[in-house]
Protein backbone atom coordinates (compact mmCIF):
# COMPACT_ATOMS: atom_id res chain seq x y z
CA UNK A 1 0.00 0.00 0.00
CA UNK A 2 2.05 2.90 -1.30
CA UNK A 3 -0.56 5.13 -2.91
CA UNK A 4 -1.38 7.12 0.23
CA UNK A 5 0.23 8.78 3.24
CA UNK A 6 -0.62 8.99 6.92
CA UNK A 7 -1.25 12.41 8.40
CA UNK A 8 -2.09 14.21 11.62
CA UNK A 9 -3.82 17.60 11.89
CA UNK A 10 -3.01 19.38 15.14
CA UNK A 11 -3.63 22.67 16.92
CA UNK A 12 -0.73 24.74 18.19
CA UNK A 13 -1.42 27.31 20.91
CA UNK A 14 1.22 29.90 21.90
CA UNK A 15 2.56 29.19 25.36
CA UNK A 16 0.92 25.76 25.47
CA UNK A 17 2.24 23.87 22.46
CA UNK A 18 0.39 21.20 20.48
CA UNK A 19 -2.89 20.00 21.95
CA UNK A 20 -2.94 16.28 22.78
CA UNK A 21 0.46 15.78 21.12
CA UNK A 22 1.19 12.43 22.76
CA UNK A 23 -2.06 10.96 21.44
CA UNK A 24 -1.35 12.25 17.93
CA UNK A 25 2.11 10.69 17.95
CA UNK A 26 0.82 7.41 19.39
CA UNK A 27 -1.87 7.13 16.71
CA UNK A 28 0.64 7.87 13.95
CA UNK A 29 3.09 5.29 15.27
CA UNK A 30 0.35 2.66 15.68
CA UNK A 31 -0.94 3.18 12.14
CA UNK A 32 2.59 3.18 10.70
CA UNK A 33 3.41 -0.11 12.43
CA UNK A 34 0.21 -1.80 11.27
CA UNK A 35 0.47 -0.53 7.68
CA UNK A 36 4.20 -1.08 7.27
CA UNK A 37 5.25 2.59 7.13
CA UNK A 38 8.65 3.65 8.46
CA UNK A 39 9.77 6.88 10.10
CA UNK A 40 6.89 7.54 12.50
CA UNK A 41 9.27 7.48 15.47
CA UNK A 42 10.91 10.65 14.09
CA UNK A 43 7.68 12.68 14.01
CA UNK A 44 8.07 14.18 17.48
CA UNK A 45 11.59 15.38 16.75
CA UNK A 46 10.49 16.78 13.38
CA UNK A 47 7.74 18.79 15.04
CA UNK A 48 10.12 20.10 17.69
CA UNK A 49 12.55 21.24 15.00
CA UNK A 50 9.75 22.86 13.00
CA UNK A 51 8.58 24.78 16.08
CA UNK A 52 12.10 25.72 17.19
CA UNK A 53 11.04 29.35 16.79
CA UNK A 54 7.54 29.24 18.35
CA UNK A 55 4.76 30.89 16.31
CA UNK A 56 3.11 33.91 17.91
CA UNK A 57 -0.45 32.86 17.01
CA UNK A 58 -2.64 29.76 16.89
CA UNK A 59 -1.65 27.43 14.07
CA UNK A 60 -3.13 24.50 12.21
CA UNK A 61 -0.29 22.02 11.81
CA UNK A 62 -0.36 19.16 9.36
CA UNK A 63 2.25 16.41 9.53
CA UNK A 64 2.29 13.92 6.66
CA UNK A 65 4.23 10.65 6.70
CA UNK A 66 4.92 8.88 3.40
CA UNK A 67 5.23 5.09 3.11
CA UNK A 68 9.01 5.46 2.78
CA UNK A 69 9.31 7.51 5.97
CA UNK A 70 9.66 11.06 4.67
CA UNK A 71 7.94 13.67 6.84
CA UNK A 72 6.41 16.93 5.61
CA UNK A 73 5.03 19.58 7.96
CA UNK A 74 2.95 22.59 6.97
CA UNK A 75 1.25 25.27 9.04
CA UNK A 76 -1.46 27.89 8.60
CA UNK A 77 -3.04 30.43 10.96
CA UNK A 78 -6.02 29.00 12.82
CA UNK A 79 -8.86 30.88 14.51
CA UNK A 80 -10.55 29.29 17.50
CA UNK A 81 -14.31 28.98 17.23
CA UNK A 82 -16.61 30.71 19.77
CA UNK A 83 -17.98 28.44 22.52
CA UNK A 84 -21.54 28.91 21.21
CA UNK A 85 -20.69 27.66 17.70
CA UNK A 86 -23.41 25.40 16.27
CA UNK A 87 -22.73 23.17 13.28
CA UNK A 88 -25.44 21.90 10.97
CA UNK A 89 -24.92 18.21 10.20
CA UNK A 90 -26.63 15.83 7.78
CA UNK A 91 -26.54 12.08 7.19
CA UNK A 92 -25.16 10.95 3.83
CA UNK A 93 -26.41 8.25 1.50
CA UNK A 94 -22.77 7.31 0.95
CA UNK A 95 -21.90 4.38 3.20
CA UNK A 96 -18.66 3.38 4.82
CA UNK A 97 -17.63 -0.25 5.29
CA UNK A 98 -17.01 -1.28 8.89
CA UNK A 99 -14.76 -4.09 7.62
CA UNK A 100 -12.41 -1.76 5.72
CA UNK A 101 -9.15 -1.75 7.73
CA UNK A 102 -8.06 1.63 6.36
CA UNK A 103 -11.09 3.37 7.93
CA UNK A 104 -9.32 2.99 11.28
CA UNK A 105 -6.34 5.05 10.12
CA UNK A 106 -6.02 8.72 9.16
CA UNK A 107 -4.84 8.58 5.55
CA UNK A 108 -4.84 10.77 2.47
CA UNK A 109 -7.39 8.46 0.83
CA UNK A 110 -10.31 10.87 1.05
CA UNK A 111 -12.58 9.89 -1.88
CA UNK A 112 -15.23 8.36 0.39
CA UNK A 113 -15.52 11.47 2.52
CA UNK A 114 -15.46 13.81 -0.47
CA UNK A 115 -18.34 11.85 -2.01
CA UNK A 116 -20.37 12.18 1.20
CA UNK A 117 -19.76 15.92 1.45
CA UNK A 118 -20.70 16.39 -2.21
CA UNK A 119 -24.25 15.23 -1.43
CA UNK A 120 -25.02 18.51 0.34
CA UNK A 121 -24.37 22.18 -0.52
CA UNK A 122 -21.45 23.49 1.50
CA UNK A 123 -23.48 26.58 2.43
CA UNK A 124 -26.12 24.42 4.15
CA UNK A 125 -24.04 21.91 6.11
CA UNK A 126 -20.87 22.13 8.17
CA UNK A 127 -20.38 18.38 8.47
CA UNK A 128 -21.76 15.15 6.99
CA UNK A 129 -22.17 11.91 8.94
CA UNK A 130 -21.72 8.48 7.35
CA UNK A 131 -23.52 5.25 8.20
CA UNK A 132 -21.94 1.85 7.77
CA UNK A 133 -23.32 -1.03 5.71
CA UNK A 134 -25.50 -2.08 8.68
CA UNK A 135 -27.18 1.31 8.97
CA UNK A 136 -25.24 2.20 12.14
CA UNK A 137 -23.82 5.67 12.69
CA UNK A 138 -20.07 5.67 12.04
CA UNK A 139 -18.33 9.06 11.81
CA UNK A 140 -18.22 12.44 10.14
CA UNK A 141 -16.01 13.35 7.21
CA UNK A 142 -13.62 15.28 9.48
CA UNK A 143 -15.00 14.59 12.96
CA UNK A 144 -16.23 11.92 15.33
CA UNK A 145 -19.87 11.97 16.46
CA UNK A 146 -20.93 12.29 20.11
CA UNK A 147 -24.45 11.92 21.54
CA UNK A 148 -25.31 12.97 25.09
CA UNK A 149 -26.98 10.29 27.19
CA UNK A 150 -29.48 10.79 30.02
CA UNK A 151 -26.67 11.30 32.54
CA UNK A 152 -24.78 13.90 30.53
CA UNK A 153 -22.02 11.56 29.33
CA UNK A 154 -21.21 11.25 25.66
CA UNK A 155 -21.91 8.15 23.60
CA UNK A 156 -19.76 7.67 20.49
CA UNK A 157 -19.78 4.92 17.86
CA UNK A 158 -17.18 2.19 18.48
CA UNK A 159 -14.25 1.65 16.13
CA UNK A 160 -15.93 -1.58 15.00
CA UNK A 161 -18.77 0.48 13.49
CA UNK A 162 -16.26 1.84 10.99
CA UNK A 163 -14.74 5.02 12.33
CA UNK A 164 -11.38 6.61 12.94
CA UNK A 165 -9.93 6.48 16.42
CA UNK A 166 -10.03 10.27 16.71
CA UNK A 167 -7.59 11.92 19.09
CA UNK A 168 -10.27 14.05 20.77
CA UNK A 169 -12.46 10.94 20.97
CA UNK A 170 -9.67 8.98 22.65
CA UNK A 171 -9.00 11.76 25.15
CA UNK A 172 -12.68 11.99 26.13
CA UNK A 173 -12.93 8.21 26.58
CA UNK A 174 -9.75 8.16 28.71
CA UNK A 175 -11.22 10.94 30.87
CA UNK A 176 -14.45 8.90 31.24
CA UNK A 177 -16.45 11.69 29.62
CA UNK A 178 -17.40 9.47 26.68
CA UNK A 179 -17.91 5.78 26.00
CA UNK A 180 -18.47 3.45 23.05
CA UNK A 181 -22.01 2.57 22.03
CA UNK A 182 -23.50 1.37 18.77
CA UNK A 183 -25.96 4.01 17.55
CA UNK A 184 -28.56 4.28 14.82
CA UNK A 185 -30.00 7.45 13.26
CA UNK A 186 -33.36 7.12 15.00
CA UNK A 187 -31.61 7.33 18.38
CA UNK A 188 -30.53 10.91 17.72
CA UNK A 189 -34.03 12.36 18.09
CA UNK A 190 -34.32 14.59 21.14
CA UNK A 191 -30.65 14.16 22.04
CA UNK A 192 -27.94 16.80 22.40
CA UNK A 193 -25.42 16.21 19.63
CA UNK A 194 -21.78 17.12 19.17
CA UNK A 195 -19.10 16.56 16.58
CA UNK A 196 -15.42 17.14 17.18
CA UNK A 197 -11.79 16.59 16.44
CA UNK A 198 -8.50 17.50 18.07
CA UNK A 199 -8.04 20.65 15.98
CA UNK A 200 -11.43 22.21 16.67
CA UNK A 201 -12.49 20.59 19.93
CA UNK A 202 -16.09 19.63 20.72
CA UNK A 203 -18.75 21.46 18.70
CA UNK A 204 -22.50 21.48 19.37
CA UNK A 205 -24.45 20.18 16.39
CA UNK A 206 -27.98 20.03 15.05
CA UNK A 207 -29.22 17.45 12.56
CA UNK A 208 -30.88 18.85 9.45
CA UNK A 209 -32.82 17.14 6.71
Which residues in the chain show pLDDT less than 70? 1
Going edge to edge, which strands form the sheet with 71-77? 17-18, 6-13, 59-65, 71-77
In this structure, are residues 167 and 23 in contact, taking their beta carbons and an 8 Å threshold? yes
Using DSSP, state whether 29 is helix, strand or coil.
helix
pLDDT at position 209, please?
Answer: 75
pLDDT at position 181, please?
Answer: 98
| Domains with residue ranges and CATH for the chain | 6-77 (3.30.470.10), 86-207 (3.20.10.10)
pLDDT at position 1, please?
Answer: 59
pLDDT at position 50, please?
Answer: 97
Whether the full predicted model's pTM is greater than 0.85, yes or no, is: yes
| pLDDT tens digit sequence for 37-72 | 999 999 999 999 999 999 999 999 999 999 999 999
Amino acid sequence: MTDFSLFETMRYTPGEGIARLSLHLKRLETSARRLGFSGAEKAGEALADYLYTPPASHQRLRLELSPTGSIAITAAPFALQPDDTLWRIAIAQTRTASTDPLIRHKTTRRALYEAARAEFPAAETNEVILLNEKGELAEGTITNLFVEDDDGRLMTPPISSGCLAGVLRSSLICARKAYNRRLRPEELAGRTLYVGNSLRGLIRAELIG
